[in-house]
A and B are shown apart, each in its own frame.
Chain A
Amino acid sequence: MKIVKPAVAGTLESSDCQVTVESGQGEVELELTSSVISQYGEQIENVIRETLDKLAVESVKITVVDKGALDCTIRARVECAVYRANGQTGPWREIA
């Protein structure tokens, strides 16, 4: 999927994360900050990259500010941001 315009999903509430996607330079450029970075940093990065792979996003600048969200939440926020950036409503049922 292509990032057509910048988009945001999620909040900065505890147990949520805020995902911002912008058009990239031909690769996935990830900026991650998290309240649980030392315990779950790698895990969170894996979830973000896997989700982008699944959506076939190859070029994106993605910024994630995590406030202790679970994997399912992170996945949902990334998907939502990407679909918004692509100008469409996601086929939510199919992804699950």
Chain B
Amino acid sequence: MLNNVGRDIPEEVIETTKKEVFKGVRYYDGHVYEKKGPETKCVIRSGGDKLVAGIRDVLLKCGIKDGMTLSFHHHFRDGDYIVNMVMKEVHELGIKDITICASSLGKAHDPLCDYIEDGTITQIQSSGVRGRVGQAISEGKLKGYAIMRSHGGRVRAIESGEVKIDIAFIGAPTCDDYGNCRGIGGVSNCGVLSYSMVDGDYADKVVAITDCLVPFPNFPAHISMTKVDYVVEVEAIGNPEKIATGAAKPTTDMRKLMMADYCTQFVINTPYFKDGFSYQTGVGGASIASTISLAKVMKERNIRMGFGVGGLTKPMCDLLLNNQVDCLLDTQDFDLDAVKSVQNMKHFRISASEYANPFNKGAIVNKLDFVILATLEVDVNFNCNVVVGSDGVITGAQGGHPDTAAGAKCTVVLTPLLQGRTPAVCNEVTTVTTPGESIDVVITDYGIAINPARQDLIDCMKEVKLPFKTIEELRDIAFSIAGEPKKVAFEDRVVGIIESRDGTIMDVVRQVKKRA
């Protein structure tokens, strides 16, 4: 069945998942539903603690068995130890048919491939997957579907009962013996625990794993003891140094700096750039550079940001230090400066639900003026792909891309016109993750294209000296330099589902064809 972005969703997938196809970002606005609560084991006895000797013991106490759903969070990104640590024990216990429900998975989780091969793990639900696990899914090694959800979409799926988490694991930088968790104050700090907050609220069993046990009460708790069943102390939960891998360094690449400059020029010429505006960026080199150049203009014109949202990095936290923003709202820290900034009184921790869940009574993304995003591909209909590489292999994550794009008044996508040889602007993206109706402007090193649906933005740029082009012109320039790419060949078998933030099917990912 054709969906709202022109993707043909196979009937077989609709039948097995009982999902609808995507019908537009506002299709579910005003929808009424009832939330499903977790099974809860009361603790009435006084005294005592919740400490358990090790991962294996806690798995047994939680009643681990075949077919369960285990959840994880990815605040440690490439430095995460928790997922591998838990899955190793699950594997050694001979448990099969596990569903992993993670806020994201990355290169740190390459060892999971063995557990996919032997049937320990048969389903994966994540924002996305990088590294060998992505390769394995694209080669069809996973028995079930890999479901890719945005950060807001994951909360929706859990709160609405679409996913039932049996055991949630929280890597807690500090924790007391009764389960009060914090993202700071320990030896391995990740700053916030925002993605885990919904797991704490909705999982039947909640396990805090820490490498820094502190005296009770570990307050103010980021995740309360009232949600936590057991506490396990281990040697190390993660390597904070690896949080910032591949991102967050100020770029010296002239091409990216130029794109950042185009972006700032565009932003300051919109009507939304005024005192009290709100702003979020991704963590690509150009996005980070655009925050730095925007801060300069804000200072010159004496304009103050009302609030900044993140996915935070140093340049955003510098705005707070330099008194250029009223407050920061934080779901994840992408470098150690941001982790440190969490202690600032105007740096507020928010849950992933507050951040981006489309099925609550209003999320922060709805109040955004600007979001500056990146993309792997964008097509002539402004649809973006941030999950599947141009070679057809799963290699990225939705993150908050569709959530912030849908919410912000002005959604800017920054991308070099060519990613290596591959044109970033193309006829049809490999897989749609964010619909074109949410994307307002595409900024490349060869020119800027405004979505024709935003005549208001086109009008206010009339006098602005920037290299404006149509999206088709950008595509043509890309093809003239690199040549038109051949379509990647896929098998018929569907290996992954790109879920829209409201739970409908945005697109499917098929198994890649082996080259002869």
A residues lining the B interface (CB < 8 Å): 14-15, 35-43, 67-71
**In the complex, residue of chain A having the shortest beta-carbon distance to the beta carbon of B391:** A38
B residues lining the A interface (CB < 8 Å): 390-392, 420-422, 481-483, 485-489, 515
With A and B bound together, what is the CA distance between A69 and B486 in angstroms?
Answer: 16
Closest chain-B Cβ to A71's Cβ sits at a distance in Å of 7
With A and B bound together, what is the CA distance between A37 and B488 in angstroms?
Answer: 10
* Residue contact B420 to A40, C-beta cutoff 8 Å: no
**A39-B422 contact, Cβ under 8 Å, with A70-B481, A71-B483:** yes
With A and B bound together, what is the CA distance between A52 and B481 in angstroms?
Answer: 22
**In the complex, residue of chain A having the shortest beta-carbon distance to the beta carbon of B513:** A38
* Residue contact A39 to B481, C-beta cutoff 8 Å: no
**In the complex, residue of chain B having the shortest beta-carbon distance to the beta carbon of A34:** B421
Closest chain-A Cβ to B398's Cβ sits at a distance in Å of 23
Q: B residues within 8 A CB of A37?
A: 391, 515
Closest chain-B Cβ to A76's Cβ sits at a distance in Å of 15
* Residue contact B489 to A70, C-beta cutoff 8 Å: no
With A and B bound together, what is the CA distance between A37 and B422 in angstroms?
Answer: 11
* Residue contact A38 to B488, C-beta cutoff 8 Å: yes
With A and B bound together, what is the CA distance between A72 and B327 in angstroms?
Answer: 50
Q: A residues within 8 A CB of B390?
A: 36, 39
* Residue contact B420 to A39, C-beta cutoff 8 Å: no
17 contacts between A and B (CB under 8 A): A14-B420, A35-B420, A36-B391, A36-B422, A37-B391, A37-B515, A38-B488, A38-B489, A39-B390, A39-B485, A39-B486, A43-B483, A43-B486, A68-B421, A69-B421, A70-B421, A70-B481
With A and B bound together, what is the CA distance between A70 and B420 in angstroms?
Answer: 9
**In the complex, residue of chain A having the shortest beta-carbon distance to the beta carbon of B421:** A68
With A and B bound together, what is the CA distance between A67 and B487 in angstroms?
Answer: 19
**In the complex, residue of chain A having the shortest beta-carbon distance to the beta carbon of B487:** A39
Number of A-B contacts (CB under 8 A): 44
Q: B residues within 8 A CB of A14?
A: 420
Q: B residues within 8 A CB of A67?
A: 420
Q: B residues within 8 A CB of A70?
A: 421, 481-482
With A and B bound together, what is the CA distance between A68 and B485 in angstroms?
Answer: 12
With A and B bound together, what is the CA distance between A68 and B515 in angstroms?
Answer: 18
Scoring B390, B421, B489 by chain A CB atoms within 10 A of each residue's CB, the highest score goes to B421
Q: B residues within 8 A CB of A69?
A: 421
**In the complex, residue of chain B having the shortest beta-carbon distance to the beta carbon of A74:** B421
* Residue contact B420 to A68, C-beta cutoff 8 Å: yes
Partner of B515, one of A38, A43, A71: A38
Q: B residues within 8 A CB of A41?
A: 486
Partner of B420, one of A36, A38, A42, A43: A36
With A and B bound together, what is the CA distance between A36 and B389 in angstroms?
Answer: 10
* Residue contact B420 to A15, C-beta cutoff 8 Å: yes
**A40-B421 contact, Cβ under 8 Å, with A70-B481, A70-B482, A71-B483:** yes
* Residue contact B421 to A38, C-beta cutoff 8 Å: no
The 6 A-B pairs of least Cβ separation, nearest first, read: A68-B420, A39-B485, A68-B421, A38-B488, A36-B421, A39-B486
With A and B bound together, what is the CA distance between A36 and B423 in angstroms?
Answer: 11
With A and B bound together, what is the CA distance between A67 and B421 in angstroms?
Answer: 8
With A and B bound together, what is the CA distance between A43 and B485 in angstroms?
Answer: 9
**In the complex, residue of chain B having the shortest beta-carbon distance to the beta carbon of A66:** B421
Q: B residues within 8 A CB of A71?
A: 483
Q: A residues within 8 A CB of B420?
A: 14-15, 35-36, 67-68
* Residue contact A39 to B488, C-beta cutoff 8 Å: yes
* Residue contact B421 to A15, C-beta cutoff 8 Å: yes
Q: A residues within 8 A CB of B392?
A: 38
Q: B residues within 8 A CB of A43?
A: 483, 486
Closest chain-A Cβ to B109's Cβ sits at a distance in Å of 23
With A and B bound together, what is the CA distance between A28 and B299 in angstroms?
Answer: 63
**In the complex, residue of chain B having the shortest beta-carbon distance to the beta carbon of A39:** B485
Closest chain-A Cβ to B396's Cβ sits at a distance in Å of 16
* Residue contact B485 to A40, C-beta cutoff 8 Å: yes
Scoring B390, B486, B515 by chain A CB atoms within 10 A of each residue's CB, the highest score goes to B486
